[in-house]
Amino acid sequence: MAATPLLELRGIDKSFGPVQVLHDVGLSVYPGEVTALVGDNGAGKSTLVKCISGIYTIDAGTVTFDGNQVAVNSPRDAAELGIEVVYQDLALCDNLDIVQNMFLGREKKRGLVLDEPTMEQMAGETLASLSVRTVKSLRQLVASLSGGQRQTVAIAKAVLWNSRVVILDEPTAALGVAQTAQVLELVRRLADNGLGVVLISHNMNDVFAVSDRIVALYLGRTAAQVKTTDVTHSQVVELITAGRSGTIGLPPEKPAGAAGFTDITPPGADA
């Protein structure tokens, strides 16, 4: 286990007009580890991912990659650093085959002509390195693949480019039990191959099955960054829904009045 994070975000602020979506968010991604990013709907997970991948620019804060402070202003910058994102809708083209999809937009060429043998070979090697054996042929159309196989292709596409950090947005959300297990196994293998993996998930079982660390976001703030082994299921759920759980998490909100809120919690209901 590496002591220094591969990717480290500190003090990230992001606003859309008057709405501040991220407040002072921090996130550390270690090589060889799966970092689960959890949080309720609207907690800022997607915004944070888009900041990392360069789709949004951050308003304040620092991004450190491999010990150097970097500026990620476009998806191209992120790709150059080796940060790849697998979005929930996968963005695969059904009418193209596996190899064509994996190299889409970054085709290998010899002069004007596509270098199909090289691409097919590289695609085969990448899938083999991930121990994927479930596809019949690399020239199968993506349309004919199952949900889990598509997810596999999308992940393989992300790791094809010597990427260092792979961010997976709810990779198991649409999958059945067996396929979820396959994909989680693949996620674990990515980390075992030395990559820093960020797994966004709503499913606590998945989070506890594969992650080494958990980062919980609550209303745009980092509620906690903890080791998975140090917390329980219910603690994580509390972090997601309330922002704190016992001694970990955000400090309790200031008493009513200070922020203009009235405490409507029935006496004795809160911990």
Contacting positions for other proteins (CB under 8 A)? 75-76, 87, 89-96, 100, 104-107, 109, 112-114, 117-118, 120-122, 124-129, 131-133, 135-139, 141, 143-146, 159-163, 193, 195
Which residues contact residue 151 at a Cβ distance below 8 angstroms, ignoring those fewer than 6 apart?
86, 90, 171, 172, 175, 179, 183
CB of 13 to other proteins, least distance (A): 26
Give the separation between CA 51 and CA 57, rounded to whole angstroms: 6
The answer to whether 267 and 259 have CB atoms below 8 angstroms apart is no
Which tokens belong to 88?
A: 């929930």
Distance CA 51, CA 58 (A): 6
* Kind plus residue range of the DSSP H or E element containing 72: none
Q: Which residue number, 11 or 194, has a Cβ lying nearer to other proteins?
A: 194
In the complex, least distance from residue 191 CB atom to other proteins, rounded to whole angstroms? 12
- Closer residue to other proteins (CB): 24 or 125: 125
Least Cα distance to 172 among 185, 157, 191, 158 occurs for 185
Question: Residue 194's beta-bridge partner residues?
Answer: none
If the CB atoms of residues 158 and 210 are measured against other proteins, the closer one turns out to be 158
Q: If 0-12 CB within 10 Å is exposed, 13-18 middle and 19+ buried, where does residue 68 land?
A: exposed
Question: Would you state the structure tokens that stand for residue 142, as one six-digit string?
Answer: 């993506």
Closest distance between other proteins and the C-beta of residue 121, in Å?
A: 5
Whole-angstrom distance, CA of residue 27 vs CA of residue 260: 30
Quote the least distance from Cβ 4 to other proteins, whole Å.
21
Residue (121 or 225) nearer to other proteins, CB:
121
Question: Is 106 or 233 the residue whose CB approaches other proteins more closely?
Answer: 106
Nearer to other proteins, 94 or 263 (CB): 94
Closest distance of CB 181 from other proteins, Å: 20
Minimum distance of other proteins from residue 124's CB (angstroms) = 5
